[in-house]
Amino acid sequence: MNPNDPSTLPFLPFALPEIGEDDIAEVVDTLRSGWITTGPKAKRFEADFKAWLGDAGDDTEGLHCIAVNSATAGLHLALEALGIGPGDEVITTTHTFTATAEVVRYLGADVVLVDIDPATLNIAPAQIEAAITPRTRAILPVHYAGLAADMPAILDIAQRHGLKVVEDAAHALPTTSSGRRIGTLASDATVFSFYANKTITTGEGGMLVTRDPALAKRAQIMRLHGMSRDAFDRFTATVPSWYYEIVAPGYKYNLTDIAAALGIHQLKKAHAFAQHRAAIAARYNAAFADLPVITAPEAPAGELHPWHLYVLRLLPEAGITRDTFIERLFALGIGCSVHYIPLHLQPYWRDRYQLRAQDFPASQHAFEQMLSLPVYSRMGQADVDRVIAAVRGLLPR
């Protein structure tokens, strides 16, 4: 292997989970314990998650953390518990993954997509305000790439118009907004993802966080078939162990103890993973500063940004299209991706709401220029150097 010849280097994947011996030992312990689905480890993970949200002194009083088997499930449960249904509208960003919006359609409500702020790639508060109608019930901001959306403005709009706020925090662990940890703000619910490529992982998994006791109760019941007790409570509480009541046609959204075992240890490493990714992002931003690109937006000083994604935008002076640039990086053995093809371009969303690219100029423009570079804690210095050299080698200065 000649380190000077990129063609002899192994392929550098776009993303890789970081699973340690501690994670593995906890999973093995769970497998040996006899309790593999939702039970003591899921409960511990929920308690640990609440403690973790408060680890820098944020107020977690009254916070409920509800482990689910995906963020999609958590978003669905939150909106269901808020009573979102047919005739209602939920406003979200076009610059996201379809999971953010599809849950609104599960409930028969309508999605109103709005454009982003080109500086942050996050939903633009002015666009939210302009999209409000008498049918609007909720705002669903996404903390894109892990950078906090403008939560003070969004919460202010929600308060003035009597709207609910559910944060899609799939990328935002750990993230702060005005110094406060995402998950502890004044929104109605916040949902985190532990999908394989997210900032921490349980393979598949998510956490619904809320201060609203009624929302928490409904989500806890709907997470497991609409049963009034979950499996753990049923077998340890003093009510007869066989007794349960079905109060609604619920879902199968519970997190297994096998997955929660991973989460318990991943969570302990969340800050370290984020610091590692932030160091990579800082190196990228410094190394690309003199190139015809827009480097990834950084958080304001003092705020936490976990760098789930590092999004690079190619300026016209780059003299290379985004698609060709990605092809060349792959040819150099570097995996990259695009997050995301905006929803207004996806056939389902485009056709259902007759969406046109010109109605989302900031998202459309960013989409045409952008790609996501590898940024994960298993990358070593040499991997980062290699990405930097490849990007610099493909662009004029």
Ligand X SMILES: *Cc1c(COP(=O)(O)O)cnc(C)c1O
Interface with ligand X by CB under 6 A: which range of 64-72, 104-112, 348-356, 369-377?
Answer: 64-72
- Whichever of 207 and 261 has its CB closer to ligand X, that residue is 207
Among 30, 38, 96, 177, interactor with ligand X by CB under 6 A: 96
By CB under 6 A, residue 100 contacts ligand X: yes
Q: Cα–Cα distance between 95 and 97 in angstroms, integer?
A: 7
Query: Is residue 122 at the binding interface for ligand X, with CB under 6 A as the rule?
Result: no
* Nearest to 214, CA basis, from 194, 246, 242, 188: 188
By the rule CB under 6 A, 71 interacts with ligand X? yes
Burial environment of residue 271 by CB neighbours within 10 A (0 to 12, 13 to 18, 19 or more): middle
Query: Which amino acid belongs to residue 49?
Result: F
Stretch that binds ligand X, among 16-24, 25-33, 150-158, 166-174 (CB under 6 A): 166-174
Which of 65, 84, 121, 142 binds ligand X (CB under 6 A)? It is: 142
Per-residue x/- track, 204-223, ligand X (CB under 6 A)? --x-----------------
Catalytic: which of 198, 217, 252, 269?
198
The total number of residues written for the chain in this structure = 397
Among residues 54 and 335, whose Cβ is nearest to ligand X? 335
Question: Which listed residue (149, 170, 294, 362) binds ligand X by CB under 6 A?
Answer: 170
Closest to ligand X by CB, 76 vs 386, is: 76
Beta carbon nearer to ligand X, 280 or 343: 343
CB of 27 to ligand X, least distance (A): 19
Q: Is 217 a catalytic residue?
A: no
Please tell me whether the peptide bond between 340 and the residue prior to it is cis, using omega within 30 degrees of 0.
Answer: yes
Binding footprint of ligand X on the chain (CB under 6 A):
70-72, 96-97, 99-100, 142, 168, 170-171, 193, 195, 206
Active site residues: 198
